[in-house]
Structure 1
Amino acid sequence: MPEVRAEIDRVDRLLVPLLLERLEYIKQAGHIKPERDAVRDEWRIEDVVRKARAVAADQAGDTKYIEDIYRHLIDWSIAHEFDIWDAANRKAE
């Protein structure tokens, strides 16, 4: 079990910087979008999920697992982007 936990920790050390990098782009999107209604884009959500599932399928991975994670990640990202958008536009008023 210690070896398995060490490998999970190793993978997390790879994932966390990538998630933080992704978050920076979410923040940028929150500043760029001209309208609050543009923050949640259903077409883009499905596009991102489809692409993530395709990567998982190419790796012979569990596509349902990846889809579930991505849907949660996207929901959190959209909520955060709304916060960014609201803060940026509150300053503009």
Structure 2
Amino acid sequence: MTEVRTEVDRIDRRLVPLLLERLDYIKQAGHIKQDRGQVHDDARIEDVVMKARAVAADLDGNESYIEDIYRFLINWSIDHEFGVWDRVHSES
């Protein structure tokens, strides 16, 4: 079990910086978008989810697992971006 936990920790050390990098781009999007209605984009959500599922499929991975994670990640990101957008545009 120790070896398994060590490997999970190793993967997490690689994932966390990527997730934080992704979050920085979400923040940038909140600064760039001119209209609050642009923050939530159903077509973009489905595009991102389908791309993630395709990567999982190419790796013979569990597509449902990846979709669930991405839907959570996207919803959290949208909420964060709304907060950024509101702050940026309340200062204008």
TM-score bracket for the superposition, by shorter chain length? over 0.9
Q: Distance in 2 between matches of 1:47 and 1:80?
A: 19
TM-fit CA distance, 1:16? 0.3
Identity %: 67
Deviation per CA, 1:46-84: give whole Å up to 9, x if none.
000000000000000000000000000000000000000
**Equivalent position of 2:6 in the other structure:** 6
Runs ≥4 residues deviating over 4 A: none
In structure 2, stretches of 5+ residues that fail to align are: none
Tell me if 1:33 matches 2:52: no
Task: Report the AA paired with residue 4 of structure 1.
Answer: V
Task: Report the AA paired with residue 47 of structure 2.
Answer: D
In structure 1, stretches of 5+ residues that fail to align are: none
Deviation per CA, 1:8-62: give whole Å up to 9, x if none.
0000000000000000000000000000000000000000000000000000000
Give the total of aligned pairs.
92
Task: Report the AA paired with residue 23 of structure 2.
Answer: L
TM-score normalized by the length of structure 1: 0.98
Tell me if 1:82 matches 2:82: yes
**Equivalent position of 2:51 in the other structure:** 51
Q: Distance in 2 between matches of 1:10 and 1:27?
A: 27
TM-fit CA distance, 1:6? 0.3
SS of residue paired to 1:37: helix
Q: Distance in 2 between matches of 1:32 and 1:45?
A: 18
RMSD of aligned residue pairs (Cα, Å): 0.2
